[in-house]
Amino acid sequence: MTEIEPRNDVRDGVIAGLIAYSFWGVLPVYFKLVGTVSPTEVMLHRIVWAVPTGALIIHLRRQWPEVRRALTHRTMLLLLATAAFFIAMNWYVYILAVQQSQVFQASLGYYINPLIYVLVGVIFLGEKLRRLQFLAVALATVGVLVLTINGGQFPGIALFLAVSFTVYGVIRKQVAIGGMPGLFVETLVLLPVAAIWLSWLVYSGGAAIAGGDPGMTGLLLLAGPITVVPLLCFALAARRLALTTIGFMQFLSPTLQFLTGVYYGEKLTIPHLICFGCIWIAVVLFSVDAVRSNARDSNVV
Model confidence pLDDT, tens digit, residues 97-133: 999 999 999 999 988 888 888 788 778 777 777 888 8
Please tell me the predicted confidence (pLDDT) of residue 272. 87
Environment class of 243 (CB within 10 Å of its CB; exposed 0-12, middle 13-18, buried 19+) = exposed
The pLDDT assigned to 248 comes to 76
pLDDT tops 90 at residue 49: yes
Q: What is the pLDDT of residues 63-102, one digit of tens each?
A: 999 999 999 999 999 999 999 999 999 999 999 999 999 9
Q: What's the confidence (pLDDT) of residue 65?
A: 95
At 2 the pLDDT is 47
Residue 107: predicted pLDDT: 92
pLDDT for residue 161: 94
| Mean pLDDT lowest among 32-46, 134-148, 191-205, 231-245 | 231-245
Residue 28 CA from chain centroid, whole number? 12
pLDDT for the residue 301? 47
When comparing pLDDT for 266 and 9, which is higher? Answer: 266
Domain segments of the chain as ranges: 4-300
Count of CB atoms situated within 10 Å of the CB of 108: 29
Residue 51 has pLDDT above 50, yes or no: yes
For 219-228, b/e burial (b = at least 16 CB within 10 A) is: bbebbbbbbb
61-65, 179-183, 260-264, 284-288: segment of lowest average pLDDT: 284-288
User: What gap in Å lies between CA 25 and CA 107, rounded to an integer?
Assistant: 9
pLDDT of residue 1: 42
212-220: average pLDDT: 89
212 by Cβ neighbours in 10 Å (0-12 / 13-18 / 19+) ranks as exposed
pLDDT of residue 194: 96
Residues 6 or more apart in contact with residue 2 via CB below 8 angstroms = none
Distance CA 185, CA 180 (A): 9
Alpha-carbon span 60 to 228, nearest angstrom? 14
- pLDDT single digits (tens) 263-282: 999 988 898 899 899 989 98
Residue-level pLDDT at 243: 65
Taking only the tens place, the pLDDT of each residue in 24-40 is: 999 999 999 999 999 99
Confidence band, pLDDT 50/70/90 cuts, at residue 297: low
pLDDT tens digits, 132-183: 888 888 888 898 888 888 767 788 899 999 999 889 988 988 888 888 899 9
Query: Roughly what angle, to the nearest 10 degrees, separates helices 214-221 and 39-60?
Result: 50
Mean pLDDT score across all residues of the chain:
87
pTM score: 0.88
DSSP assignments along the chain, one per residue: -TTHHHHHHHHHHHHHHHHHHHHHHTHHHHHHHTTTS-HHHHHHHHHHHHHHHHHHHHHHTT-HHHHHHHHH-HHHHHHHHHHHHHHHHHHHHHHHHHHTT-HHHHHHHHHHHHHHHHHHHHHHH-----HHHHHHHHHHHHHHHHHHHTSS---HHHHHHHHHHHHHHHHHHTS---HHHHHHHHHHHHHHHHHHHHHHHHHHT--GGGS--HHHHHHHHTHHHHHHHHHHHHHHHHTTS-HHHHHHHTTHHHHHHHHHHHHTT----HHHHHHHHHHHHHHHHHHHHHHHHHHHHHHH-
> Given this model, what pLDDT does residue 12 score?
84
